[in-house]
Amino acid sequence: MLAAISTTLQTIPEVQSAVAAGESLFLAGSREALSQLPAGNWIGGTIPYFMTEQGGLLAEDRIFVTRVPEMALSVKTAEYGPENLASLYRDAPAHGFTFVVLPAGTEVLKTFAEKAPSFDGFLLRPVVGWVAGVRVDKIGKEAPVVFNGKTSSVFEAKCVALHVTLPASIMADMDIVNIFESQGGDVIRFEESGFQVTNCQVNGKPVNLAKYITEKGIPTEFPLVGDYNGSNLNASFLNVDAAKGTVDLYAPVFPGVDYRFAKPVADYAGAFADTLTSGKEVPAFACNCILNYLYGKLEGKKTGDITGPITFGEIAHQLLNQTMVRLYLHDMA
Amino acid sequence: MIPAVDHPIWTQIVTGKKPVQTGKLAINLLAQGNKINYEKDSSPANVKLLAKRTHDFFIQYEKVFAAEFAKILS
């Protein structure tokens, strides 16, 4: 059985009232919208794209609200930079979960993406959230930011967290919906982790990845799919520069993981609808990727019954790409 | 019932002798992390550390993943 949690897209005055009423909130909205909120028990990050009950939506005058359920025993906000990010897990409750939001293109995101799996408490302390971004026509012109409502602080280079302690009978767990699967074929491995790749091994032979992609004419709107013991985790392409021989990714690749190119998906909304069968349990929180929204032309299209922010990266324990993340609170009583 | 931390099952899981096959993300991230760590360092000290982490994970998620753990531990 699942514990209920409320998530909705709301107007700025509605969210102002909720903050003033003392509710603990995890928020997603434009900088202008979030800047109008009073101090209170909330964290948030910039993003103006949402999955709504009517379909994908760009809205700078609305805020997506995830309410921490009333049964939570305690809620604490915190801020982290690259230097103390390992404390995220030490500060996380022994029983509960942590909402987190990190700004895109920052050192703290890079640190989280590359090092979170090695931090003490990884997996034992569930961390769920997303990467803040901006309207796509403002990329490079405006910085994504995150907010700690408790201290009325805005950060371009830190992450903020909401540590939520739950009663012993409630357990947090996440799952992912990845519409991409491996197309089979060549196995790609990397010797180092990182967001930028030059050389790799293709079926055990050294190859320049940019050259390989260019020569084979591989479409880069579809990600590399890493096989994590049967779970497919994506690393999406930001840029392939054949002249420089570099490939930039939205999430790091890791040594010891077998990657393959994804099978192309023509109908993203249809692929989500096929996966998100109706009647499935409603998640406590969900987010989806801006690349799915853009490449899949999801504006106005539904992704099942799931609502939430559409983000510049998704977090379910670790950074993910082109993936829907869902948080569930299981009532074990 | 989750076996004690010194039970050989944890070493078998870490070294891949006991396969972990499931559709659950957290379990697969644990298994993949064990695989990568073990390939890097197969010393008894590291295996013991990974075995403890695996045991702690099973304790933490005993109720949520009861069916999956029963299959893995059978």
Q: Which residue of A has its CA nearest to B58?
A: A124
pLDDT mean over A24-34:
98
| Min distance A317 CA to chain B CA atoms (Å) | 8
Contacts of A137 (CB under 8 A, 6+ apart): none
Angstrom distance (rounded) from CA A285 to CA A324: 11
- CB within 8 Å: B24 and A174: no
- Give chain B positions within 8 Å (CB) of A229: 20, 27-29, 31-32, 35
pLDDT in tens, A224-253: 999 999 999 999 999 999 999 999 999 999
A74-80/A324-331 β-pairing: unpaired
Contact A32, A14 (CB under 8 A): no
What are the domain boundaries of chain B? 23-73
Q: Does A270 touch chain B (CB under 8 A)?
A: no
pLDDT band per the 50, 70, 90 thresholds, residue A134 = very high
pTM metric for this prediction:
0.95
Q: Which residues of B fall below an 8 Å CB-CB distance to A? A: 20-33, 35-36, 39-40, 56-57, 60-61, 63-64
- CB within 8 Å: B29 and A228: yes
| Min distance A37 CA to chain B CA atoms (Å) | 35
**Residue A276 confidence (pLDDT):** 85
Angstrom distance (rounded) from CA A245 to CA A257: 22
- CB within 8 Å: B25 and A257: no
Closest listed residue to residue A163, CA positions, set A101, A92, A228 = A92
Residue type at position A140? G
pLDDT mean over A257-284:
88
**Does residue B38 surpass a pLDDT of 90?**
yes
**Does residue A273 surpass a pLDDT of 90?**
no
DSSP labels, A75-143: EEEEEE-GGGTTHHHHHS-SSEEEEEEEETTSHHHHHHHHHGGGSTTTTTS-EEEEEE---GGGBTTB-
**Does residue A3 surpass a pLDDT of 90?**
no
Q: What is the mean pLDDT of chain A?
A: 95
- Of residues A6 and B50, more confidence is placed in B50
**Residue A281 confidence (pLDDT):** 76
Angstrom distance (rounded) from CA A195 to CA A247: 8
- Give chain A positions within 8 Å (CB) of B26: 123, 126, 173-174, 317
Angstrom distance (rounded) from CA A170 to CA A162: 17
- Picking from B21, B29, B36, the nearest residue to A123 by CB comes out as B29
**Does residue A77 surpass a pLDDT of 90?**
yes
Q: What is the mean pLDDT of chain B?
A: 96
**Does residue A1 surpass a pLDDT of 90?**
no
| Min distance A301 CA to chain B CA atoms (Å) | 27
**Does residue B1 surpass a pLDDT of 90?**
no
Exposure of A6 in the CB half-sphere (CA atoms within 13 A):
13
pLDDT mean over A9-34:
97
**Does residue A4 surpass a pLDDT of 60?**
no
Angstrom distance (rounded) from CA A309 to CA B58: 31
pLDDT mean over B24-45:
96
pLDDT mean over A175-195:
95
